[in-house]
Amino acid sequence: QVQLVESGGGLVQAGGSLRLSCAASGRTFSRYAAGWLRQPPGKEREFVATISWSGDTTYYADSVKGRFTISRDNAKNTVYLQMNSLKPEDTAVYYCAAGTNPIWGNADRTTYDYWGQGTQVTVSS
């Protein structure tokens, strides 16, 4: 079992930055790929970024490419999402997820085995 807890969300002005953290419990977290997904208000959940278990490979949605960076520290059982040049359209609840073999780019709940509760990110214009 893996439990995920996100932190770092908040209110920021457009153009600003935030760093989200996802702390995982369980010794096997390093075996899982991890991802960040988000759900804007009134919209469906969408894929943001994924990172392999080793951290060697990453994949981003086109909408965040060049602005967001996903990383992980397996020694700390933590995944990060550095978000720069934030835009009002980045406003959403951001979820951390982990899975043994997720479909990269897919936001379906079944793609990942474990999910966090989410953290709100609000970007004001």
- Summarised one tens digit per residue, pLDDT across range 14-23 is 999 999 999 9
Can you tell me the distance from the alpha carbon of 33 to that of 97, in angstroms, rounded to the nearest whole number?
Answer: 8
Averaged pLDDT for residues 113-123: 97
Measure the CA angle with vertex 65, ends 62 and 69; round to 5°: 140
Whether 80 contacts 20, CB under 8 Å: yes
Look at 27-31, 84-88, 104-108 and tell me which has the smallest mean pLDDT: 27-31
Q: What is the pLDDT of residue 1?
A: 84
CA–CA dist 82, 70 (Å, integer)? 6
pLDDT at site 117: 97
Q: Give the pLDDT confidence score for residue 28 in this predicted structure.
A: 83
23-81 pLDDT per residue, tens: 999 768 889 999 999 999 999 999 999 999 999 999 999 999 999 999 999 999 999 99
- What pLDDT, on the 0 to 100 scale, is given for residue 101? 85
